[in-house]
Amino acid sequence: MKLLVTGGAGFIGSNFIYYMQKTHPDYEIVNLDLLTYAGNPDSLKEAEQSPNYRFVHGDIADSALVTDLFEKERFDTVVNFAAESHVDRAVLNPSVFVRTNVLGTQVLLDAAKTYGVKRYHQVSTDEVYGDLPLDRPDLFFTETSPLHTSSPYSAAKAGADLLVLAYHRTFGLPVTISRCSNNYGPYQFPEKLIPLMILRALKDEPLPVYGTGENIRDWLYVEDHCIAIDMILQKGTVGEIYNIGGHNEKTNLHVVKTILETLNKPEALISFVTDRPGHDRRYAIDPAKISAELGWMPTVAFENGIRKTIRWYVEHPDWWQRILTGEYSRYIETMYGKRLS
């Protein structure tokens, strides 16, 4: 099996590569990544020890590069993680999200069609469904829920999903799509809620929480996500969408307080800041389909996963200290500087 993983230097992609190396050591894995701000080659130092792993520096929206790579490698399977993914950055610069998430997906689909890829898997997000009301805990997103995007990020991901399904229907390309809830775990870039709060708490800095912190997310430990994708590749039905949810709904404020409690830090560090535009209220995914058809269920409860995640960041300061400089510092100042002053 020759597997192309795009965006493999990012958070979920790097965890997926490690999982596949552990469970399928005979697979040849090629990682195509542009190494933008969130792509960290340090995350893959151990993966590089395997002779079956190779890194290619490149842009999924670069048609010539992608075509040449597919021509040389003749991949059996493609898993596309590559995407601009942070909603706050999408508000600042939507065009980057359209280029990578939509055009990049189209370039990959064309190459997959031309070179006879046996399975193209698109990693999507629950954000394509929009949000749910806070006062209806009985409601969940299913694979047939209408797309109702709230941000340039989710709109670009929805556009990519529609392209994937169109290539299946028009050209017969063997595709699958997964839509996951909020992931957390090792190697996550510290612009996202959990690592941002962990690292700021470790430095006794204010923790910026949007609005009142009552927005709800369904948290999924990243290795559970990797297991689900592998199951879809092995047993999933071509042309189908699978929702991957963690059954771990928590308010943002609960998450932040849990981190502070685990680190023995005071809640006085919490600083409520002006909410971002179009902030979705609640995400909640029903994973009944993937459970019934493929036998997948999440195995890591939030209470255990968050402790494992905090411990990883505490034990790996070399990984994140190099990140907390330069462009990232400028971004944090842009997003939160005035709100925390």
Indicate the angle between helix axes 302-315 and 252-262, nearest 10 degrees: 50
Taking alpha carbons only, the member of 52, 54, 61, 51 closest to residue 8 is 54
The beta strands (E) that lie in 211-278 are given as 216-221, 241-244, 249-251, 270-273
153 labelled catalytic: yes
C-alpha angle 216/275/97, rounded to 5°?
Answer: 85
Q: State the greatest distance between any 2 C-alpha atoms of the chain, in Å, as a whole number.
A: 57
Cα(19)–Cα(187) distance, integer angstroms: 13
Catalytic residue among 33, 59, 88, 126: 126
DSSP β-ladder status, 119-125 and 207-210: unpaired
Q: Pick from 20, 33, 93: which is nearest to 60 by CA?
A: 33
Active site residue 127: yes
Q: What gap in Å lies between CA 20 and CA 5, rounded to an integer?
A: 11
Write out the DSSP string of 67-125: HHHHHHH--SEEEE------HHHHHH-HHHHHIIIIIHHHHHHHHHHHTT-SEEEEEEE
Among the listed residues 59, 127, 161, 224, the single catalytic one is 127
For the record, the structure tokens of 262 come out as 């685990």
How many CB atoms sit inside 10 A of residue 339's CB? Answer: 13
Neighbours of 86 (CB within 10 A): 19
Instruction: Give me the active site residues, please.
Output: 126-127, 153
